[in-house]
């Protein structure tokens, strides 16, 4: 932060921190050459200036005001060999979290849940497995059958299964998978503080294989891990400099799970989540920005501010993977109250 310029906030005349002049912050075109300084300037701009800018981009590219409802299901829970410090499912913290390990759900069971989610209004069904990486064999074959079944219901299908080989990504594409979720979580610099059992480059390599297979990329991160605003800026910089941009960008706030090393982290300021959503919207105008974990801790007003700042997708349904999510009826009422609409299934 040493070279930071102090520029005047046009609203209250007070100084605010920015590394670049305001004019350079306005860049609604699709770009893949963001610098850390530009992103930091966005994240530290006066809040309403940032929200205004994000709103302008959002209205230009997403005039319909649709919110996508994505339902999430843990198809294989717990006993993951990775040591992600935020995660309830890591085997490393199983003694303290007490999370019960489960085997892969049956295909029929999963498709039944997808069908229930569809009837409740969801258009995307996301399935998460607590795996470090995919192994070829019966379990992967079952996941392929789940993907085919979800697509046959007329829903978008997304899976998050850990690392993939190119051949596995190609098989998921053949099965009709819409999107693969694989988050970068935070900056490359801070990553080692959170995960030691894989590298940032491992994540980027899997993302490149997904892109090559033709499956859409769903990639975002988490705030509230103990990272700095510079780390948040570098995460967004890395995401926006992927070419093309990820089609969807989940922005999570840490759901602090008892028994994990991050259980006592200070809860994030909801306005920091608004800033992340807004900056993601400005930087990745066409992407879906999904307001993800941590939404349950937000007031109605904070959620509406996130929609105003460009969020256009939420996880919908009572549960995320291992933690509770907002009530589905409350979500539908909130979308209506905000004057937004539930996105219809894509043809
Ligand atoms: N094992 C796979 C992987 O890591 O890619 C898939 C499942 S993992 C649970 C999917 C993502 O959820 C993580 O990358 C992380 O960004 C997010 N996540 C997991 N636990 C979280 C928590 N407690 N709070 C917020 N986000 C979380
Ligand atoms: C994402 O970015 N967030 C979702 C989904 N992708 C897989 C997961 C959130 C998990 C929250 C903690 C839990 O329920 O265990
Ligand atoms: Fe495993 Fe994914 Fe949890 Fe990390 S985030 S411990 S890889 S399930």
Going from N- to C-terminal start, the domains of the chain cover 3-60, 66-342
Atom of ligand 2 nearest to the CA of 126: 7
Q: Compute the chain's Rg from CA coordinates.
A: 19
Please choose from 239, 252, 288, 318 the residue to mutate so as to test ligand 2's pocket, defined by most ligand atoms within 8 A of CB: 252
Q: What is the largest CA-CA distance in the chain?
A: 63
**Can you give the pLDDT at residue 14?**
37
Which tens digit of pLDDT belongs to each residue from 140-153?
Answer: 999 999 999 999 99
pTM for the full model?
0.90
| Residues contacting residue 123 through CB under 8 Å, at least 6 positions apart | 68, 69, 70, 155, 156, 343, 344, 345, 346
pLDDT in tens, the chain (347 residues): 333 333 333 333 333 333 333 344 444 579 999 999 999 999 999 999 999 999 999 999 997 889 999 999 999 998 899 999 999 999 999 889 888 888 899 999 999 999 999 999 999 999 999 999 999 999 999 999 999 999 999 999 999 999 999 999 999 999 999 999 999 999 999 999 999 999 999 999 999 999 999 999 999 999 999 999 999 999 999 999 999 999 999 999 999 999 999 999 999 999 999 999 999 999 999 999 999 999 999 999 999 999 999 999 999 998 999 989 999 999 999 999 999 999 887 65
User: How many Å separate Cα 249 from the centre of its chain?
Assistant: 5
Atom of ligand 1 nearest to the CA of 182: 5
Write down the CATH number for the domain with range 66-342: 3.20.20.70
């Amino acid at each position: 932060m040493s070279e930071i310029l102090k520029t005047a906030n046009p609203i209250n005349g007070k100084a605010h921190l920015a590394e670049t002049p305001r004019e350079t912050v306005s860049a609604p075109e699709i770009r893949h050459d963001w610098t850390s300084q530009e992103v930091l300037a966005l994240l530290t701009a006066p809040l309403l200036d940032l929200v205004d800018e994000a709103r302008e981009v959002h209205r230009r590219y997403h005039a319909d005001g649709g919110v996508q409802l994505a339902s999430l299901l843990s198809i294989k829970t717990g006993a993951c060999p990775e040591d992600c410090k935020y995660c309830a499912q890591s085997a490393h913290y199983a003694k303290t979290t007490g999370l019960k390990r489960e085997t892969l759900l049956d295909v029929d069971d999963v498709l039944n849940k997808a069908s229930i989610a569809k009837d409740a209004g969801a258009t995307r069904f996301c399935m998460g497995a607590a795996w470090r990486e995919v192994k070829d064999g019966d379990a992967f074959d079952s996941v392929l059958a789940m993907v085919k079944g979800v697509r046959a219901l007329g829903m978008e299908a997304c899976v998050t299964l850990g690392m993939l080989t190119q051949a596995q990504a190609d098989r998921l594409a053949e099965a009709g998978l819409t999107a693969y979720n694989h988050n970068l979580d935070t900056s490359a610099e801070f990553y080692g503080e959170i995960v030691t059992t894989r590298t940032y480059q491992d994540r980027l390599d899997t993302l490149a294989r997904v892109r090559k297979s033709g499956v859409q990329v769903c990639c975002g991160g988490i705030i509230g891990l103990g990272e700095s605003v510079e780390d948040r800026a570098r995460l967004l910089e890395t995401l926006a400099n992927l070419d093309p941009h990820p089609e969807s960008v989940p922005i999570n706030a840490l759901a602090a799970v008892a028994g994990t090393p991050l259980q006592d982290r200070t809860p994030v300021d909801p306005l920091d989540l608004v800033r992340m959503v807004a900056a993601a919207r400005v930087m990745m105008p066409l992407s879906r920005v999904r307001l993800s974990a941590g939404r349950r801790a937000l007031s109605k007003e904070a959620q509406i501010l996130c929609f105003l700042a460009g969020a256009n997708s939420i996880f919908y349904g009572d549960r995320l993977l291992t933690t509770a999510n907002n009530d589905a009826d409350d979500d539908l009422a909130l979308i209506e109250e905000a004057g937004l609409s539930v996105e219809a299934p894509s043809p």
